[in-house]
């Protein structure tokens, strides 16, 4: 049927029926902990519109690293390698690339059959409540079904015709203190530096992450409050340990979270507090000329359109870990440390 492709191109309007909701490709276990191994079992309940599926591909999200697919009898297995969104620490090894897509082909999943496709990998540390999409495509003789739609902000995922299978990641930080063990920093959280005031801006809790050997990029996180009546814009900065500073945002591109420079910089509206944190907006230290080590704070200069430049100390947390100040963003109330003024270093 040569019309199948055209029908697919106009998507759900034609094919969506209430009954179809039960037949989505889904993950058997849709919840996992950050910092754990996760076995993604993709459940595929049928072929495409009457035809058998001969090829199935799963795109692996950022933050799901060192993935290994399970071979299936009767199917050829191919793993596509590619760059990760950042350099991750994998048990002491810097990992900046790896499997990004798995393709099983040459099989025969009949429309009236059900099958499962398995990939195991590591979920890196990420903020509580992060949604990881595993866009999945079934290819048949005359067309394909792509489970790759993502809910826009405020949209109910149930309204999607072809939703991408989603894994919800919860943070082990919510289990209380010391959940990570090993690096020993959880019960000796670094003192939060005094807020730095520059113009109408109050800047708090600036931190970074220790980088694995050979890493070329690092990220900076901080909380900026605009106490004035005019908007200000974080446009960039400079640092002696990096060749360039960019201000990045995260956005969904082709079903994966990717980071990219924010056009024109990050606006801090009057009265607003902007939290730059893992999984969201961040300061990107590009072209690291030296690694960032836990216990050795680094100094960088940030530049704001109105407030001008400000020198900040970024306290490194553990490699791939959370804020050295304890909380998700380090900006929880009270208990500011002494003798750790950002501007005096």
Q: How far is the CB of 285 from Cu ion (least distance, A)?
A: 9
Q: How far is the CB of 232 from Cu ion (least distance, A)?
A: 21
Residue 153: partners with Cβ closer than 8 Å, 6 or more residues away: none
248 binds Cu ion, rule: CB under 5 A: yes
Residue 50: partners with Cβ closer than 8 Å, 6 or more residues away: 111
Helix and strand numbers (H, E) in the chain are 2, 23
Q: How crowded is residue 244: how many other Cβ atoms within 10 Å of its Cβ? A: 13
Q: How far is the CB of 286 from Cu ion (least distance, A)?
A: 8
Pick the stretch among 103-111, 254-262, 268-276, 307-315 that binds Cu ion (CB under 5 A): 254-262
Q: What is d(CA 114, CA 123) in angstroms, rounded to the nearest whole number? A: 27
Strands in 166-170's sheet, in edge-to-edge order, are 31-33, 166-170, 130-133
Pick the stretch among 35-43, 115-123, 235-243, 257-265 that binds Cu ion (CB under 5 A): 257-265
180 binds Cu ion, rule: CB under 5 A: no
Closest-CA residue to 128 (of 307, 265, 327, 290): 327
- Which of 203, 284, 307, 313 is the binder for Cu ion (CB under 5 A)? 284
Q: What is d(CA 47, CA 55) in angstroms, rounded to the nearest whole number? A: 10
Q: How far is the CB of 261 from Cu ion (least distance, A)?
A: 8
Question: Is 75 in contact with 34 (CB distance < 8 Å)?
Answer: no
215 binds Cu ion, rule: CB under 5 A: no
Kindly report the backbone phi and psi dihedral angles of residue 8, in degrees, each rounded to the nearest multiple of 5, phi listed first.
-65, -30
Which residue's CB is nearer to Cu ion, number 133 or number 284?
Answer: 284
Closest-CA residue to 249 (of 225, 219, 272): 219
Pick the stretch among 30-38, 75-83, 156-164, 241-249 that binds Cu ion (CB under 5 A): 241-249
Q: How far is the CB of 284 from Cu ion (least distance, A)?
A: 4
Closest-CA residue to 198 (of 113, 301, 308): 308
Q: How far is the CB of 296 from Cu ion (least distance, A)?
A: 21
Pick the stretch among 30-38, 76-84, 186-194, 252-260 that binds Cu ion (CB under 5 A): 252-260
Question: Which contiguous run of DSSP H or E holds residue 179?
Answer: none
Residues binding Cu ion: number (CB under 5 A) = 3
Helix (H, G, I), strand (E, B) or coil at 290: coil
Q: How far is the CB of 186 from Cu ion (least distance, A)?
A: 26
Q: What is d(CA 48, CA 54) in angstroms, rounded to the nearest whole number? A: 10
Pick the stretch among 148-156, 201-209, 283-291, 327-335 that binds Cu ion (CB under 5 A): 283-291
- Which of 40, 245, 259, 313 is the binder for Cu ion (CB under 5 A)? 259
Pick the stretch among 152-160, 162-170, 245-253, 328-336 that binds Cu ion (CB under 5 A): 245-253
Question: Is 315 in contact with 296 (CB distance < 8 Å)?
Answer: no
Which residue's CB is nearer to Cu ion, number 143 or number 236?
Answer: 236
User: Among all residues, whose Cβ is closest to Cu ion?
Assistant: 248
Q: How far is the CB of 248 from Cu ion (least distance, A)?
A: 3
Closest-CA residue to 220 (of 288, 140, 273): 288
Q: How far is the CB of 86 from Cu ion (least distance, A)?
A: 7
Site string for Cu ion, 89-108 (x = CB under 5 A): --------------------
Which residue's CB is nearer to Cu ion, number 160 or number 259?
Answer: 259
What is the contact surface with Cu ion in residues (CB under 5 A)? 248, 259, 284
């Amino acid at each position: 049927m040569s019309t199948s492709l055209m029908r697919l191109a106009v998507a759900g309007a034609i094919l969506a029926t209430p009954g179809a909701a039960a037949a989505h490709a889904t993950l058997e276990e849709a919840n996992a902990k950050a910092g754990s191994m996760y076995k993604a079992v993709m459940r595929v309940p049928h072929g495409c519109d009457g035809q058998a599926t001969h090829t199935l591909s799963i795109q692996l999200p950022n933050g799901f690293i060192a993935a290994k697919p399970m071979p299936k009898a009767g199917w050829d297995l191919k793993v596509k390698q590619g760059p990760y969104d950042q350099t991750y620490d994998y048990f002491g090894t810097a990992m900046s690339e790896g499997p990004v897509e798995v393709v099983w082909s040459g099989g025969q999943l009949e429309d009236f059959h059900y099958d499962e496709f398995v990939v195991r990998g590591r979920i890196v540390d990420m903020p509580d409540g992060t949604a990881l999409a595993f866009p999945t495509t079934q290819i048949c003789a005359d067309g394909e079904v792509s489970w790759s739609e993502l809910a826009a902000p405020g949209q109910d995922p149930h309204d999607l015709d072809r939703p991408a299978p989603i894994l919800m990641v919860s943070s082990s930080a919510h289990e209380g203190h010391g959940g990570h063990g090993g690096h020993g920093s959880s019960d000796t959280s670094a003192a939060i530096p005094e807020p730095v005031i520059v113009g109408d801006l109050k800047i708090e809790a600036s931190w970074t992450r220790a980088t694995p050997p050979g890493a070329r990029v690092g990220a900076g996180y901080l909380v900026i409050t605009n106490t004035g009546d005019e908007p200000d814009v974080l446009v960039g900065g400079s640092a002696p340990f990096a060749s360039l500073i960019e201000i990045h945002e995260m956005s969904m591109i082709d079903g994966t979270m990717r980071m990219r420079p924010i056009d024109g910089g990050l606006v801090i509206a009057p009265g607003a507090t902007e939290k730059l944190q893992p999984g969201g907006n961040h300061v990107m230290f590009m072209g690291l000329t030296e690694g960032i080590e836990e216990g050795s704070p680094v100094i960088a200069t940030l530049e704001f359109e109105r407030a001008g430049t400000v020198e900040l100390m970024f306290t490194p947390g553990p490699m791939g870990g959370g804020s050295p100040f304890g909380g998700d963003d380090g900006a929880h109330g009270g208990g500011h440390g002494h003798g750790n003024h950002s501007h005096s270093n």
